[in-house]
Chain A
Amino acid sequence: MLKTIFRNGCRLRPTFNICLSTSLSNRLHTLSPSNTYQNGQVWPHVFVLRRTSILDRHIKDAGQMRTPPPLTPRDIESRVLRICNEYDKIQEAQKNKIALETHFMNDLGLDSLDHVEIIVALENEFGFEIPDADYDKLYTVKAVVDYLKNRMHVVERPKPVVSSASDPRYDEHHH
């Protein structure tokens, strides 16, 4: 019930009139799977100021130390497949059949310039530069995924990143 109040009501207004227990506000701060809505969506999420009592406002927050969600191999695969599907030189018929074993040149009929285009799109997506020497290793989707896994050091089961931002014990010194 409190969740619906927050959803319809205040967004980032300083909450003078709501007396919140600190544990509740701490739980609301973190975007964990239990704090998302029922269907798994995350937005819109409501923030409430953590230091609600006026006497505590002088203490600076550690800020929302938002670490990016840890990367899984399936995540990489889905992103690569999405980029391949968005590429307009591939015919519509073949778009949904792109699998791990698809060879760019043999199966999809692309040439080396299209291959360069795909790799540039991948570079833009993942944010780092792929050197020229590696271009001829990346002819199949599987090779691309493996290469990205190596480069981004993606582990099978990533440990959840613990951030000490919401713990008031670390206000004096940050880790």
Chain B
Amino acid sequence: MSLTTRLPQTLKQVRPVLSTDHAEAKRRVLNLYKIWLRQIPYLRVDYIKNNWTETHLRNVIKENFMRNKDVTDLRVIDLLIVRGQMDFVETAEIWRQQHNTALMDSKKDSYKKKSTSFLGRFYEGH
């Protein structure tokens, strides 16, 4: 008789961070996306030195959301939502630095690519 079989049912579920099921988490994510979208014209004005266009900002926001699309763990999703909302508040209240251009840059070019050739992988250690 191991410990897991003798545990009562209430202890087998993990305490949720924010949402109890995936539908509620999805609603929260869509809400977060919506408020980021609505903030775009204000972002363009507040951080006017960067000359962001609306399409550029939309692509960046979409990319940031899509980067985490494969997460299935509910609590991780909730923490990502919380972090996204914190970022939103910081951006909206202009607590960030306005000259920080990399804030809304597309991060696709800065990822280190996995090398595909045999020698490349050999040098990296695989």
Contact = CB atoms under 8 A, between A and B. Distances in A.
Do A and B come together as binding partners?
yes
Given A113-B62, A113-B65, A117-B58, A135 B30 contact: yes
B104 interface: no
Contact of B55 (A88, A116, A120, A132): A88
A120 B30 contact: no
Contacts of A88: 55
Contacts of A113: 30, 33, 62, 65-66
A112 B62 CA distance: 11
Interface residues of A, number: 8
B106 interface: no
A120 B37 contact: yes
Contacts of B65: 113
Interface residues of B, number: 13
A117 B34 CA distance: 7
B50 to A, nearest CB: 21
Contacts of B26: 112
A117 B37 contact: yes
Interface string A130-142: 0010010000000
B31 A132 contact: yes
Contacts of A135: 30
A120 B36 CA distance: 11
B83 interface: no
10 contacts: A88-B55, A112-B30, A113-B33, A113-B65, A113-B66, A116-B30, A116-B34, A120-B38, A132-B30, A135-B30
